[in-house]
Amino acid sequence: MLALFSFGSAKLGTMMRLAVIGAVAFGIVRFGGSVWANPPDGNGNHQHGGGDDGDADIIAPDAVTNLSASSAAMGTIRLGWTAVGDDGCTGSATAYDIRYSTNPILNDADFEAATQAVGEPRPQSCGALEQFCLAGLTAGATYDVAMKVIDDAGNVSGSSNVATAAAGSAFGEAMHVDSLVASWTIEGPRKRKALAIVRIHDEFGTPVEGATVTGDFSGCTTENNFSGVTDCTGRAFIPGNRKVSCTSNNNCCFVFTVTNVEHDLLMYLPEANAINCSSIQCYVSGFECPACE
């Protein structure tokens, strides 16, 4: 399913990982931390998938070249990269193998010795923007991260560039709304649903993961007590339920106002909020939404 989100003129597309460990699934087996189409032969060589009809897939995915890493919530690192394809940059690959270590990752031996991430996303089509959060890391520790890409025949790309970042430091004592963007999702011709994206930080500017953000939609729709939970980047995506007809004759505004933020460890300080509400036009035609309180 492809959901489109509109932020002014920008539209974003939302993004199962093949987990095979010591067992066969769709002809793919994991050996020594890597995924291959067939077991290694007596000489330790890995054979590519396919039969003996000359149609075997021997083209590996391209290597990721723009892996980036940045500090996120406590004990987490946010990764970003551009998806590659099944064959080079054609189609979609099958799985990602993301590794991380507090030791330098300088070669394939270092890569194999590094810890493999759990729950990597299923690859999107070549060119799509991917993101993933490495969690359960030591707060404040610096990690090298690299990745490889596997296709459905077990062909493995070369290693990506190595990205380095420190895992998010320990939480402070209080949290606040750092940013808030009102938006909408496309639900059909001239149909929209309200959406709010809220980012929560602590007093040191560290993103807060696991905070429940609650608020009310008003303007084009009246929907109260809608909530979402923040991810490792501190963001909560909060969608509304009601479809609204958006035309030049119904040019209203979607408004979202934060009413509460809860977390098991941090206290919410609304007086420290950088913003409390946000609005956006339902039908974009130069109409300006009034300022919200």
CA within 13 Å, CB half, 28:
20
The amino acid that residue 71 corresponds to is S
> For the purposes of burial, counting CB atoms within 10 Å of the CB of 101, is it exposed (0-12), middle (13-18) or buried (19 or more)?
middle
Q: What is the pLDDT of residue 247?
A: 79
Q: What is the pLDDT of residue 43?
A: 38
96 alpha carbon, distance to own chain's centre? 14
CB-CB contact of 16 with 95 (8 Å): no
Task: Please list the ranges in the chain whose pLDDT falls under 50.
Answer: 1-54
100 lies in which domain range? 58-166
Together in a domain, 190 and 277 = yes
* Domain limit, last residue, from 100, 133, 166: 166
Please state the domain count of the chain: 2
Nearest Cα residue to 239 out of 197, 271, 270: 197
Query: What is the domain-level CATH number for residue 223?
Result: 2.60.40
Together in a domain, 202 and 269 = yes
Together in a domain, 142 and 83 = yes
Q: Name the 3-class secondary structure at 90.
A: strand
Together in a domain, 131 and 222 = no
> For the purposes of burial, counting CB atoms within 10 Å of the CB of 289, is it exposed (0-12), middle (13-18) or buried (19 or more)?
middle
> How far apart, in whole angstroms, are the C-alpha atoms of residue 43 and residue 281?
65
* Domain limit, last residue, from 104, 135, 166: 166
Q: What is the pLDDT of residue 261?
A: 98
* Total-model pTM: 0.65
Mind listing the pLDDT tens digit for each residue in 57-78? Answer: 778 899 999 999 999 988 999 9
